[in-house]
Amino acid sequence: MPSRKPTPKAPRWGRGEFVRDEPRAENPLVYRAVLPIPDDEQEQMFAGARSCFTSWLESKGLATHLSSGVHRLTETYTLTVTDSYDTDGHQTALRLRLRESKEDRHEGTWQTTLTSAVDRASNTAYVGVDLEHYPSPGRRQVTPVPPRLVREILDHFTVSDGTIRLTTAPHLVRSDSVGLLTSALTDPTRGLPLVLVAEPPNDDATWEKLLTGVVRNLVGIASVFRLEREAVPAFREAAGDRHDVFPGQIRTYLPGVALGSAEDGRRHRLLTYRRLSDPKFRNADIRISRYPRQHAVTTPQPALLAEPAFPGIEEVLKDLRAARSQTAESSGNETVDSLRAQLSTANETIDKALEELSEAASARDLAERSRRALDEQLREATDRYEDEIADHDATQAQLSALRHQVAVLQQRLVEAGRAEDAYTPPAEEPAPMSFAELNERVQERMQHLVLTYDTSKAEDLDDDIKSSTWASKVWDALLALDSYGACSGGEQGFDGTFRDFCEASPQGMRTYPVTRVAMVESESVRSDKKFRQQRMLPVPSEVDASGKVFMEAHIKIDSKGRIAPRVHFYDDTAGATGKVIVGYIGPHLSNTRTN
């Protein structure tokens, strides 16, 4: 059946329509642990840090040289040890840095840095561990397991996050200790995420294996609590329906939990037991750790760790000048042996200086790569900020207009003697907090849509920190498509495209911002075989015998960043199904400006 909808023209390139084509420089910092040391353990902190680092080196089969300076342990490992002291001779900071080059295996360079610092005036002390990965050219960054070094430190020191002891094993929560869990959740001094894993209804070996991986990947950057299945009802009652969990679920609570707040509940990512049991949901332990990892590497370090005063290149130059002065001075009474000794000492100083200068040059190169990555992050953050401001301004204007309209209509109802109708809010179900929840609810709610999209691809969006916002926007987009499907079905229905429908905003119908709706792709995407193939998306066989059509119409859920989710749909309201077919929900598909 031919469609009565007009065929839109292909758009020209426009700002916000496509993702940038420049290669994205990724932040080399892939892991960071900031571990506060209690007062009674600060006296032995530097010795303890050295002991932990030594044990870690030995586990790698490396010789331990923790004297100050640069040590080439092997062809691939370089260790740099730097100490800092105050004017009274008391140690104030220690830095131990191990760099491993794996360029021969195209794995890039890995750098692990332990920094320990103390401020005796305020009795404040930290041990911090940073792990950086600088990939080889053309290779992507990988997500590593936290260094074993962090486990050594947590076993050696008593490290706490607020009232929670950071350990290498999960805290067990029974029915009689649910109060301690809720106190930990709402503790205002908690600075790290808290990951709650609720035991499944029955024993599940796969779930137990997942828990082991979750704990391993969160060492030092989050606390993990294991909720016994018998304690789940008590916790659900204490936490409320916005922050609770069901058996088998895993939830990540960011700092600043406000129990009872629906708005706050959206911040804390929830993974259902069904999702965790899905064979398509791979590397679940790594994906669960992404929130805490992102929180760790984007939270500013304490100034004590970020700005310790370590000797720099000026110390190397000072040693070189001293060696030069010593060899230049001559009393005329030197023997051959004494001159040889002076020359040997000078050569040792020069060799050491060259080693340290070479290390400084390597560190400078890596620092430059970090700077470029941070510049890229700043540019992306600025773009996102400007886009969010524009969205906020548009939403605020729309909200003000709607509030005025509601006030006028309420007044008219009151004047008509219908005051109760005027102030009784309509029943409105809350937007889903995740794509997993969206997928569970969409089939029953959307009666005028045919849903052929890959649900696992949509649920992959839950890995991003913006997932709850995106899920809410996709829900609104689907409601608008459903309204369009309801209005367009039949011969007397709305005669126009979905974009026309949103622009017309028929009374009582759900619509979506017109600027976020594109009915066609650019000509460069249409004519490119690879890009076109990605948009050949599933439809019922009665729509096309091949089971696929070129689905170029899409809704832009976000316009910035690498993911920039899209909803692709096909208007079949005048066709065999009489509905709108949603064939894709997921990250932005490739075009000429994506990586």
Residue 63 counted as domain residue: yes
Q: Tell me which of 133, 156, 179 is where a domain ends.
A: 156
> Which of 156, 190, 220 is a domain's end point?
156
Which of 571, 591, 590 minimizes the C-alpha distance to 582? 571
Asked if the structure places residue 312 within a domain, the reply is no
Q: What's the structural domain count of the chain?
A: 4
Residues 167 and 48 in one domain: no
Sign of the CA dihedral running 60, 62, 67, 71:
negative
Q: Is residue 299 located within the same domain as residue 350?
A: no
345: left (phi over 0), alpha (psi -120 to 50) or beta: alpha
Residue 589 · residue 23 · CB < 8 Å = no
**What end-to-end distance do the CA atoms of the chain give, in Å?**
39
The span from the CA of 567 to the CA of 477, in Å, is: 8
Instruction: Tell me the CATH number at 236.
Output: 3.40.30.10
Q: Are residues 276 and 172 in the same domain?
A: yes
Residue 265 within any structural domain of the chain: yes
How far apart CA 448 and CA 567 sit, in angstroms, is 16
Task: Please give the pLDDT value at position 235.
Answer: 96
Residue 43 lies in a domain: yes
Is residue 81 classed as helix, strand or coil in its secondary structure?
strand
Strand segments (E) across 259-378: 270-271
pLDDT at residue number 580: 95
Question: Cα 259 to chain center, whole Å?
Answer: 24
Residues 183 and 142 in one domain: no
Q: What pLDDT score does 152 carry?
A: 95
Specify whether the CB–CB gap between 482 and 573 falls below 8 A. Answer: no
Q: Are residues 87 and 114 in the same domain?
A: yes
Residues 151 and 175 in one domain: no
Q: Evaluate whether residue 3 is within a structural domain.
A: no
Final residue of a structural domain among 156, 184, 210: 156
Which residues have C-beta within 8 Å of that of residue 385, sequence separation ≥ 6? Answer: none
Residues in Cβ contact with 478 at an 8 Å cutoff, skipping those fewer than 6 apart: 442, 446, 449, 567, 582
Q: How many CA atoms lie within 13 A of 418 on its CB side?
A: 9
Looking at the domain assignment, is residue 418 inside a domain?
no
User: In this predicted structure, what is the pLDDT of residue 389?
Assistant: 77
Which whole-number Å values give the CA distances from 289 to 68, 141, 217, in the listed order? 35, 16, 6
Domain membership of residue 239 as a residue range: 160-304
In a domain, 329, yes or no: no
**Contact yes or no for 152/56 (Cβ under 8 A):** yes
Give kind and range of the element (H or E) at residue 359: helix 336-415
User: CA-CA distances (angstroms) from residue 77 to 9, 109, 197, 353, 398?
Assistant: 59, 10, 38, 19, 59
Residues 208 and 142 in one domain: no
The residues of the chain scoring below 50 in pLDDT are 1-4, 10-23, 595
479 and 581 share a domain?
A: yes
Residue 272 shares a structural domain with residue 351? no
Q: How far is 351 from 257, CA to CA, in rounded Å?
A: 56
For residues 111 and 95, give the distance between their C-alpha atoms in angstroms, rounded to a whole number: 13
Question: Are 488 and 473 contacting, i.e. CB atoms less than 8 angstroms apart?
Answer: no
Identify whether residues 176 and 146 lie together within a single domain: no
* pTM recorded for the entire structure: 0.74
Q: Say whether both 120 and 178 belong to one domain.
A: no
Same domain, 113 and 238: no
Is residue 423 situated within a structural domain?
no
**Segments of 135-249 assigned E as strands:** 160-161, 164-165, 171-173, 194-198, 223-227
> What pLDDT score was predicted for residue 128?
94
